[in-house]
Structure 1
Amino acid sequence: MATAKDIMHPGAQWVSRQDTLEHAARLMRELDIGALPISDENDRLCGIITDRDIVVKAIALGRDPARTTCSELCEGTPRWVEADAGVDDVLRELEVRQIKRLPVIEDKRLVGMISEADIGRHLSDHEIAEFVESVYAGQ
């Protein structure tokens, strides 16, 4: 059975809680991605910031992205999956939480991210259809 590590995008990068939104946005642009995990002072996952978060929760409200830190936008408990979790567990987490990206952790360290594109590359058409229906049903 395929695992999270088998379908993830390896080599994910993250930003520190103290990094600015401006820094996060520049890194997203450089890496051509829409989300970055946020680490605490112990290099542990403490949140995720998306390009949408930066626009809707900061810029649209007049906050200065050069002075606002990533930690100021962290909300709730970040979701993640262990590298050896089965694909069914990954899909269940994405569906139940209604999220589109999931950090992959191994030995308490970030090793990759799973996005909708990764799901699309590794699942059957039937599995993709079920996933899309579950995640987007209420939107």
Structure 2
Amino acid sequence: MTQYVRDIMTGDPVTVEPLTSVTEVARIMRDRDLGAVLVTEGDRLRGLVTDRDLVVRSLAEGGDPEQTTVAGACSDAMVTVRSDEELGHVVELMREHAVRRVPVVDDGHPVGIVSLGDLAMERDPESALGGISVARPNP
């Protein structure tokens, strides 16, 4: 049976505006147990920011995280997919572009995210990656 992105994506993605502070985005990630949020202007996707992006692109630069906005930390050269695309296509894109998360965009609007962990859980829930993906984070 053919599977589609919509079958495994995490829907209703958390979004922030580009001028949101790095500190605020980090708090959102902590409070919602997320590794990534989408950066939007209005309802249009502008980028994706991960917890690693916050550290490498913002904190390591030495700026004040209260004053630094997420616009400078987000990845704006993104690969996206539609919710009606087949899962095999997402896997190919992740391999080709060496990414762990792919925003799902329908009619120009972000509707979800597919992660490597989502794919692992769907394809092989008994794998180490599948187990790690569902494990509670360290306190």
Mark yes or no: TM-score above 0.5: yes
**CA separation in 2, counterparts of 1:112 and 1:92?**
18
Which blocks of at least 5 consecutive residues in structure 2 are unaligned? 130-139
Aligned-partner SS, 1:24: helix
Matches within 5 A, 1:28-39: 28-39=29-40
Aligned-partner SS, 2:19: coil
Q: How many pairs are equivalent?
A: 126
The answer to whether the 8 Å contact 2:49/2:75 transfers is: no
Residue aligning to 1:23 = 24
Q: Partner amino acid for 1:31? A: R
**CA separation in 2, counterparts of 1:110 and 1:77?**
15
Shift of 1:74: 3.2
Aligned-partner SS, 1:33: coil
Q: Partner amino acid for 2:58? A: A
In percent, how many aligned pairs have the same letter?
31
Change beyond 3 A, Cα 1:75–1:6:
closer
**CA separation in 1, counterparts of 2:104 and 2:75?**
19
Shift of 1:124: 4.5
**CA separation in 2, counterparts of 1:74 and 1:57?**
8
The answer to whether the 8 Å contact 1:36/1:48 transfers is: yes
**CA separation in 1, counterparts of 2:76 and 2:55?**
19
The answer to whether the 8 Å contact 1:12/1:110 transfers is: yes
Residue aligning to 1:88 = 88
The answer to whether the 8 Å contact 1:46/1:77 transfers is: no
The answer to whether the 8 Å contact 1:15/1:37 transfers is: yes
Residue aligning to 1:132 = none
RMSD after superposition: 1.9
Which blocks of at least 5 consecutive residues in structure 1 are unaligned? 130-139
